[in-house]
């Protein structure tokens, strides 16, 4: 009788987790987004100074300077650019390819392919406070991914529970 009750409990837990997983999936099926970021550099800050994105998002940076020449180096994404005032173009360099010629581009496209915090900073000396000119890109895990993870946790707990109760059954508990 006790075994039956345990088995029922396990079953209920499994079903609850499964339902929760499906519900969360359906509710927040976060398709990766394209985010256009209009970034203004001025002595001695970037605006915005924080960018939030989800894993898988495409980030399109449009950079401009409100005063003097600035740089834009994005940690971990192989991006470094020079921003010239009153120009729609920036000169993009890939730090991993130091010998390649800089490209003149209107926007810099980056895929948020890793979670975490990535700093961006000015990479072109622009004045006394230049070393403090920085911001942060925060890439969060996708909610879809979290929902599936909870489903897996539920399934694992359920299987473990079932294995445990069937072992007890064999022992005649």
Contact footprint for Cu ion (CB under 5 A): 70, 122, 126, 133
Secondary structure (DSSP) of 2-32: HHHHHHHHHHHHHHHHHHHHHHHHHHT----
CB of 135 to Cu ion, least distance (A): 11
Nearest alpha-carbon partner for 139 in 111, 97, 105, 101 = 111
Q: Which CB atom, from 90 or from 126, has the smaller least distance to Cu ion?
A: 126
H-helix or E-strand spanning residue 36 = strand 34-42
In this complex, which beta carbon is closest to Cu ion, that of residue 16 or of residue 129? 129
Neighbours of 12 (CB within 10 A): 11
Considering the complex, state which of residue 4 and residue 129 has its C-beta at the smaller distance from Cu ion: 129
- CB–CB of 93/149 below 8 Å? no
Encoded tokens for 100? 């390649």
What is the spatial distance between Cα 164 and Cα 23, in angstroms, rounded to a whole number?
28
Nearer CB in complex with Cu ion: 77/124: 124
């Amino acid at each position: 009788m006790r075994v039956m009750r345990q088995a029922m409990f396990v079953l209920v837990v499994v079903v609850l987790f499964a339902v929760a997983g499906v519900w969360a999936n359906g509710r927040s099926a976060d398709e990766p987004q394209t985010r256009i970021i209009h970034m203004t550099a001025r002595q001695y800050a970037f605006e915005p100074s924080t960018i939030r994105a989800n894993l898988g998002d495409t980030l399109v940076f449009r950079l401009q300077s409100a005063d003097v020449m600035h740089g834009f180096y994005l940690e971990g994404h192989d991006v470094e650019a020079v921003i010239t005032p009153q120009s729609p173009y920036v000169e993009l360099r890939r730090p991993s390819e130091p010998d390649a010629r800089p490209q003149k581009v209107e926007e810099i496209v980056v895929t948020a392919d890793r979670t975490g915090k990535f700093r961006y900073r000015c990479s072109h000396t622009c004045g006394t406070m230049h070393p403090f000119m920085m911001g942060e890109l925060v890439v969060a895990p996708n909610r879809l991914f979290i929902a599936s993870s909870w489903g897996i946790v539920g399934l694992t707990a359920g299987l473990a529970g079932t294995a445990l109760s069937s072992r007890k059954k064999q022992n005649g508990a």
